[in-house]
Amino acid sequence: MPHPLHLFCYCPRCGSDAFCENDERSKRCRACGFVFYHNASAATVAVILDEDGRLLVTRRAFPPAEGTLDLPGGFVDPGESIEEGCLREVREETGAEATLERYLFSLPNVYRFSGFDVHTTDAFFLVKLKPGQTLRPNDDAAELFWCRPKDLSPNDFGLHSIREGISRLLPMLIRE
């Protein structure tokens, strides 16, 4: 398995090509001493249920996993709390305002983008939509629809952490 920073050949501080592996998740520049760590990025996942217990599901508009099922969410922006990031992602992907009900759990993920593996820690939140809004897919969501949890299969979701999250959520969501 290649070093997680194998695509980074030059020091981002001084531009030297003496940017070498320092340990299993960092590189160090032998010219200026700069050390760069490959850390996980924060990401969010919104678990949104309607009054009938149906789950709001999206269809991914872009790679990775284009065309597969997903849940609203995405990367947290710099200067933004993880809670703010979750609500912004819901607004961007659905056009709706929402409130956070509670934190559920987190899972690691690897999000392949532009030929680079972006390691993330995905925080799952139970989210409630504010009433009286019209949902419309936007941004990374090609489609939005409500699904009964018993009709879902984790294998229909394209991203590893979402599949694992759905596997954890289904026993809690299926009310027979």
Q: Which residues are catalytic?
A: 143
Q: Specify which residues 122 forms β-bridges with.
A: 43, 107
Tell me the C-alpha to C-alpha distance, in Å, between residue 52 and each of 38, 91, 146. Answer: 42, 22, 10
Pairing of strands 73-75, 98-113: unpaired
Dihedral angle of Cα 122, 126, 131, 137, to the nearest 10 degrees: 30
Q: Specify which residues 49 forms β-bridges with.
A: 55
Closest C-alpha among 69, 66, 67, 75 to residue 45:
75
